[in-house]
C-alpha cells in the first residue's frame, strides 16, 4: 500500500505484427509480460527471444497505442505495441 | 474529411461527390491502380495489409495537416486492403479546392505522406507463382525525448 | 489520346476508363467545376464558347507535346461548351501513367496550357442579373517571320 | 495568262468572331475581300472600318486556318481568319 515500486511488479502489453513481421513471428498478436518501467526496447528484446523472433530487426519501427514511438518509450500496463515493417501503401 | 481503410472496391465517383462544394472550382482525384509490373517483374495482383485503426488515424492526421497548409475545401482518402487484381484501385484521394493550385499541391502531399507514414503493406503476386512483401519506407519515429 | 469540345455533360468516369491500361499505376483526374463566386462576385452559372475545330486541334497538339515530355500512357481532355450551372464540370483531364510523378506533372501542364492557349471563353452570369465575358489570357502568336 | 500579279486581283477570306468580339462586331462570320498580297493586318483594318468594328483592339490575337499567326502573315484566297479574344477556358 506504499507508493514504492514493487520490484517484482509486472505489466502486460499486447504486441501486434503485420505483413513480413507477422510471417516471421508466426502470430498476429502476442501478450507479453514485462517488469514495470520496461521500455519499447525491452519489448523488442522479449519478442526477439521467442522462436522466429530473431528474424525481426533489432530496431524496428514501433507504435504505442497507434502512435509512432521511439525505443526509449516507457510502457504502461495494457499498452498496444505494434511492430511496423517498412510501409508500402499506395 | 473522410478517411477509410476498406476491403470493398473503391467508388471514386462517390468520393468526388463527397468532397465537392459550390465554392470549389477544382476537384482532383488521384487513383493508385494495381499495375502488371514492378521492378522488371510481371505482377498478377497485390495483397494489401494494414494496421487498420492506426492507418485511419494517421490518414486523418495527414488530412488535417494538409488542410491547414493549403486552401482546400474537403478531402477524402480511401485505401483498399485484401486481394486486388490488375487494374483495381488501391487508393483514391479526392481533393476539392476553390483554386487548382492548392488542389494539386494538397493531393501530391497527401499521397507522398501516405506512402511514407501510413501503416499499409503490399504483397506482390508474380506471374511465375512467387509472392513477396514489397520493400517499403521505414516510418520516422518521433525524436527521442 | 482523346480530345473533345462538347455540349453534353462530361462523364469523368468514362474518361478514366478510357485512359487506364494495365501498365499504369497512377491515374489522375482533374476537373474544373463551375463555382459560385469569382473575383468577389456571386456567380450563378457560366456560359462557355469555343472555336470548336481549332480548340480540338490545339488540345491534340498540347497532348502530344505533354506525352513527349513525360512518361505517360494515355491522356483524355474534354471541355464543355454552352450554359453550365454551379457544380457542373467544365473541363476534365484524365492522365494515366506508370508512375504518379509523371501523371501529376503532365496533368498540371495540360490544364495550364489549356488555359493559356486553347480558344475557349467563358461568360459569367451574376446573381444580380448581369453577365460579362471573363477576362482571359492573350494567346501568344508565333514569332514574326 | 501570265505569271505577273494582276494589280486589281482580289482574294476573299472568311473571318470568324467569338465571345466578346462577336458581341462587338455583331456577327459570327463575315466574308472579306482584300487585294492579293494582303496580310492579317489588312484584314483587321478592314473589319475595324465596319460598323461596330472599331470596338475591336487594333492588334488582336489571330488565327489562320486554326493556327495562331502573326499580323504580317500574307493571306490566300479562302483562308479562315479567326479573331481570338483573350482565352479563358478551364
Express each pLDDT in D70-81 by its tens digit.
Answer: 999 999 999 999
CB contact, 8 Å: D39 with chain C? no
pLDDT for res D27:
96
Residues 6+ apart with CB under 8 A from B108: C104
N- to C-terminal Cα separation, chain D: 52
Whether B145 and A61 lie within 8 Å, measured CB to CB? no
**pLDDT for A19-48, tens place per residue?**
999 999 999 999 999 999 999 999 999 999
Contact at CB, D88 and C115, closer than 8 angstroms: yes
Length of chain D: 90
Q: What are the tens digits of pLDDT across the range D26-73?
A: 999 999 999 999 999 999 999 999 988 999 999 999 999 999 999 999
Summarised one tens digit per residue, pLDDT across range B51-103 is 999 999 999 999 999 999 999 999 999 999 999 999 999 999 999 999 999 99
Q: Is the pLDDT of residue D2 over 70?
A: no
B114, HSE (Cβ side, Cα atoms, 13 Å): 30
**Closest chain D residue to C81, measured at CA:** D89
If one counts every other C-beta atom within 10 angstroms of the C-beta of residue D4, the result is 6
Q: Flag whether pLDDT at B135 surpasses 70.
A: yes
Cα radius of gyration rounded to whole Å, chain B = 16
Q: Look up cell 485503426; give the residue.
A: B53
User: Which residues of chain D neighbour C90 with C-beta distances below 8 Å?
Assistant: 89-90
The residues, ordered by sequence, that sit 6+ positions from D74 with a Cβ below 8 Å of its Cβ are D37, D38, D39
CB pair distance less than 8 Å for C32 and B100? yes
What pLDDT score was predicted for residue B141? Answer: 78
Chain B hits for C30, Cβ within 8 Å: 26-28, 100, 103-104
3-state secondary structure C64-88: HHHHHHCCCCCEEEEEECEEEECCC
DSSP string, A35-88: ETT-BHHHHHHHHHTSTTGGGS-SS-EEEETTEEE-TTPBP-TT-EEEEEPPB-
Average pLDDT over chain A, rounded to an integer? 93
The pLDDT, as a whole number, for residue A7 is 60
- CB distance from B43 to chain C under 8 Å? no
Contact flag B104-C100 (C-beta cutoff 8 Å): no
Select from C51, C79, C141 the Cβ nearest to the Cβ of D82: C51
User: Is residue B19 within a helix (H) or strand (E), and if so which, with residue range?
Assistant: helix B12-19
pLDDT tens digits, C30-57: 999 999 999 899 999 999 999 999 999 9
CA distance D85 to D56: 9
pTM reported for the whole predicted model: 0.94
Query: How far apart (Å, rounded) are the C-alpha atoms in residues C131 and D9?
Result: 44
The CA angle A13-A14-A17, to the nearest 5 degrees, is: 135
Does chain D touch chain A (at least 3 C-beta pairs within 8 Å)?
A: no
For residue C145, pLDDT over 50 is answered with: no
CB contact under 8 A, C27 and B31: yes
What is the interface pTM, i.e. ipTM, of the complex? 0.93
pLDDT the model gives residue B145: 46
Q: Which three cell numbers stand for residue D52?
A: 461596330
Closest CB from C53, C136, C145 relative to D88: C136
Round to whole Å and give the CA distance between A55 and C41.
64
| Banded model confidence at residue D7, pLDDT cuts 50, 70, 90 | low
Instruction: Find out whether D81 and D75 touch, Cβ atoms under 8 Å.
Output: yes
Q: Is C92 exposed, middle or buried (0-12, 13-18, 19+ CB in 10 A)?
A: buried
Pairwise CB contact (< 8 Å): B141 & A61: yes
Amino acid at each position: 500500500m506504499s507508493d514504492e515500486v514493487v520490484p517484482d511488479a509486472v505489466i502486460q502489453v499486447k504486441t501486434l505484427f503485420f505483413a513480413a513481421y507477422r510471417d516471421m513471428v508466426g502470430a498476429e498478436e502476442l501478450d507479453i509480460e514485462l517488469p514495470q518501467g520496461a521500455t519499447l526496447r525491452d519489448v523488442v528484446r522479449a519478442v526477439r527471444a521467442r522462436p522466429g523472433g530473431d528474424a525481426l530487426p533489432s530496431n524496428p519501427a514501433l507504435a504505442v497505442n497507434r502512435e509512432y514511438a521511439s525505443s526509449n518509450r516507457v510502457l504502461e500496463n495494457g499498452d498496444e505495441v505494434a511492430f511496423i515493417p517498412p510501409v508500402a501503401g499506395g | 474529411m473522410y478517411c477509410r481503410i476498406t476491403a470493398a472496391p473503391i467508388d471514386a465517383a462517390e468520393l468526388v461527390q463527397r468532397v465537392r462544394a459550390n465554392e470549389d472550382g477544382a476537384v482532383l482525384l488521384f487513383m493508385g491502380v494495381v499495375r502488371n509490373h514492378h521492378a522488371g517483374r510481371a505482377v498478377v495482383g497485390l495483397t494489401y495489409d494494414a494496421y487498420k485503426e492506426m492507418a485511419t488515424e494517421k490518414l486523418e492526421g495527414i488530412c488535417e495537416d494538409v488542410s491547414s497548409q493549403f486552401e482546400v475545401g474537403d478531402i477524402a482518402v480511401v485505401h483498399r486492403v485484401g486481394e486486388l487484381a490488375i487494374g483495381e484501385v488501391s487508393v483514391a484521394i479526392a481533393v476539392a479546392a476553390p483554386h487548382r493550385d492548392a488542389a494539386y499541391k494538397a493531393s501530391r502531399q497527401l499521397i507522398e505522406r501516405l506512402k511514407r507514414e501510413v501503416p499499409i503493406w503490399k504483397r506482390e503476386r508474380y506471374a511465375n507463382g512467387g509472392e513477396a512483401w514489397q520493400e517499403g519506407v521505414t516510418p520516422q519515429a518521433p525524436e527521442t525525448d
